[in-house]
Amino acid sequence: MKKIAAEIVSIALQLLIRALTAVRGIWVGGEPEDKPRIYYANHTSNGDFVLIWTSLPSEIRRKTRPVAAADYWFKSKTRRFAVEEVFNAVLIDRNAENRKEGEDPVTLMTQALQQGQSLIIFPEGKRNQTEEKLLEFRTGLYHFLHNNPGVEAIPTWIENLNRVLPKGTLLPIPLICTVTFGAPVTLGKRESKRKFLKRAHDELLKLAEMQDRGRV
């Protein structure tokens, strides 16, 4: 019964999001591929991963899981149903003291990858509510790729969703949104954490610049 309800909600969400945002998925650095990858994106709204999820081709969407904070999504039964049954998220307890053995983020993400699934993450670690285009990345992306050599990370720039769902509003404002997928990034064999995170950060900013210049 839960599976049927989740499928209905999934379809309804996709229709609603497309009606509100006319979202387009634009691939500028290659083509979508049905293989385990990690999509890393800018973060300005709690709806960010839903927009990326909707923008993916259906066969890829079914195998792609957002990485989400359990404490936020478990605040109500509705949120919990959505994150567990509809999005099948990899749920992370942000309080490290509460985690059981094997529940650290890198381990949980690696397990999903080994099951043939892709992931959506936000390396900034929190919603960007500043004037900066992109906050400094935390280290999770590096550690995940270090533990999973050769896995491709796809820079993914979300444009306009923060205007559709401004902080503190209950009703969305219909606006056209785009999700731009860039060229795959992989961790070099001897690449340092600092160098890699700067390179991954710069690749995401390049997509933002392309949006600003109307090149996508």
**CA atoms of 199 and 209, how far apart (whole Å):** 15
Tens digits of per-residue pLDDT, 126-158?
Answer: 888 888 999 999 999 999 999 999 999 999 999
> What pLDDT score was predicted for residue 157?
95
| pLDDT tops 90 at residue 55 | yes
- In whole angstroms, what is the distance from residue 48 CA to residue 41 CA? 8
Mean pLDDT of the chain: 88
pLDDT for position 170: 47
pTM of the model: 0.89
* 71-119 pLDDT, tens digit each: 888 889 998 999 999 999 999 887 776 777 767 888 999 999 999 999 9
Please report the beta strands in the chain, taking only residues with DSSP state E, as ranges in sequence order.
24-27, 38-41, 64-69, 90-92, 118-121, 153-159, 178-181
Name all domains of the chain by residue range, CATH numbers in brackets: 2-212 (3.40.1130.10)
